[in-house]
Structure 1
Amino acid sequence: MTSAGLATAGPGPAETKISVRGLSKEFPGKAGAVTAVDSLDLDIPRGQFFMIVGPSGCGKTTLLRILARLEEATDGHIEVCGSTGGRPENSMVFQGDSLFPWMTVRENASYGLRLRGVPGSEVRDTVGHYLGKTGLTQFADHYPHQLSGGMRQRVSIARAFANDPDVLLMDEPFSALDEQNKTLLQEELLRIWDETRKTVVFITHSVDEAVTLGDRIMVMTARPGRAKAFFDVPFERPRSVLELRQRPEYGEMVYDIWQHLREEVDNSQAGALPSKRRRFGR
């Protein structure tokens, strides 16, 4: 067994930002260890918008949490090519509401910068820029409870980009939103990302979202999570969400990816059926 860990290396080949080798993660269970991710190998180039899709419970979020240093791998190795200029290695946008309720929009968006001791004038300029980009300037002094769900996620996105991380990690950030707000935020995210070209690792259950946003897509198997297939997204940038979805080749790609994913979703659901039958006496 190799030693598990997450290392930060010096600048490596320009094409590689994140390298994953033999990554596995087990969790203890009553009937023995449960393997969430199994022997995963993966390379993500610098500046790529990388999407991960897979059935529920396949280890997508576990992988993201290992990248964020919130979990430790059981086995294998992840290497993140080092940053320059003292920037943080990553920032994470969560699925749920992760704002501090006692802080205003401006205070939430500036939290990472203030934590790093960035000078006040730079904080004001940077936060002001991203509040403007996310349409939140007039709400800068509002508190989270005064905002809609979509606006709160805008604050989370502004905070993540303002912190200027090397890698942006996003765990289904739009899954709780209605379709209208989801589309608007996808447009805003693409517009902001086009300016910065951050390396992004984005988890979603939506094949549509994966094709709309991503440069490359990994389909994961049902648990234990492994890489089943990779798809390079050929559509040019910048992208308009609605215009892209009108194109026949967009629909063809969504269908192709869904065919790979559907088998894993069926496998995942089939694995849950016996316990449900026992529960209801069937």
Structure 2
Amino acid sequence: MSNTTAPASAATTTATTDPKIRIRGLSKHFSVPGGHVVTALDSFDLDVPQGQFLTIVGPSGCGKTTFLRMLAGLESPSEGSIEVVGGTDGRPENAMVFQGDSIFPWMSVWDNAAYGLTVRGVPKAQVKETVGHYLEATGLTKFADAFPHQLSGGMRQRVSIARAFANDPEILLMDEPFSALDEQNKTLLQAELLRIWDETRKTVVFITHSVDEAVTLSDRIMVMSAQPGRAKAFIDVPFERPRDVLQLRHQPEYGEIVYDIWSQLKEEVEKAKQQADARVAPKRHGLFRR
């Protein structure tokens, strides 16, 4: 089988193109009540090549979202560095698609999708062409004048995706964007995301708890350890593009890769559960103190 698993220390040498994202010695510490310091992320290195779709999986509480927020510039590293290589030519460095609704409720679908372009002062003709293209790509053309409260959760996420791609960022960051959706809508949006990504070939960093979703979408998967989060392993996904979501899952090799990832995750999920139980235990004892 052509997928490979490598220790985190060796994974940074596997890129076949120049990195778009270069991370060195990244750590993040948080102060918590009682004067304690929690290490959410421990030192690791990572290169993400230009145009790669990288997905991150790991147990709850391992620092996946903290890592993505640092990439987005919403959090600062405690140690280490994050470098985005190359210029943006006036385009935004990144755009982020969140798990929940992140579109403006007072704006129409069209205005939400056009927001980033409008703020940047892009000519109206270009805005019209670009927004029209991505509304069509996400199946929202007929809903251009609708407002978020008139849309289903899946359709609101389509608006978020259309807005992110329309703004033409260097890097697209996605934090469990489909986790709240039912399985049918999730599959449809995965297919649409794959289709749009095939067209743009943007550098994507995607977080999910779904191993199936990770294998379906990714070029490479980073498995993170339990807290403190570290890059435990990298798994290459060998399937050619473009991909058909349903046909892909019928391939025998698909199941082998899913099993490989779960094998990497199992120990870390068990560690995360033990950590959670240890944090709860002192609180339980405190209930019986006099």
Q: TM-score range by the shorter chain?
A: over 0.9
Aligned to 1:15: 18
> Separation in 1 of the partners of 2:17 and 2:261?
29
Aligned to 2:170: 166
Name the % identity: 71
> Separation in 2 of the partners of 1:84 and 1:76?
23
Deviations 1:164-210 (A, max 9, x none): 00000000000000111000000000000000000000001111111
Aligned to 1:8: none
Decide which of 125, 128, 152 is 1:124's aligned counterpart: 128
CA contact (8 A) 1:82 1:89 kept: no
Tell me how far 1:82 sits from its aligned partner.
2.3
> Separation in 1 of the partners of 2:278 and 2:208?
27
Determine if the alignment matches structure 1 residue 236 to structure 2 residue 254: no
SS at 1:28 equivalent: strand
Determine if the alignment matches structure 1 residue 218 to structure 2 residue 222: yes
Determine if the alignment matches structure 1 residue 92 to structure 2 residue 96: yes
> Separation in 1 of the partners of 2:27 and 2:215?
27
What TM-score does the superposition give when structure 2 sets the normalisation length? 0.91
Determine if the alignment matches structure 1 residue 133 to structure 2 residue 154: no
Aligned to 2:51: 47
Decide which of 183, 188, 191 is 1:184's aligned counterpart: 188
Tell me how far 1:85 sits from its aligned partner.
2.5
Deviations 1:187-239 (A, max 9, x none): 00000000000000000111111100000000000000001010010011000
Determine if the alignment matches structure 1 residue 27 to structure 2 residue 26: no
Determine if the alignment matches structure 1 residue 193 to structure 2 residue 227: no
> Separation in 1 of the partners of 2:229 and 2:109?
37
What TM-score does the superposition give when structure 1 sets the normalisation length? 0.93
SS at 1:176 equivalent: coil
Aligned to 2:280: 276
| Cα RMSD after superposing both structures | 1.3
- Structure 1 runs not aligned, ≥5 long: 1-12
Aligned to 2:86: 82
> Separation in 2 of the partners of 1:189 and 1:162?
13
Aligned to 1:57: 61
> Separation in 1 of the partners of 2:136 and 2:276?
46
> Separation in 2 of the partners of 1:211 and 1:19?
23
Aligned length: 270
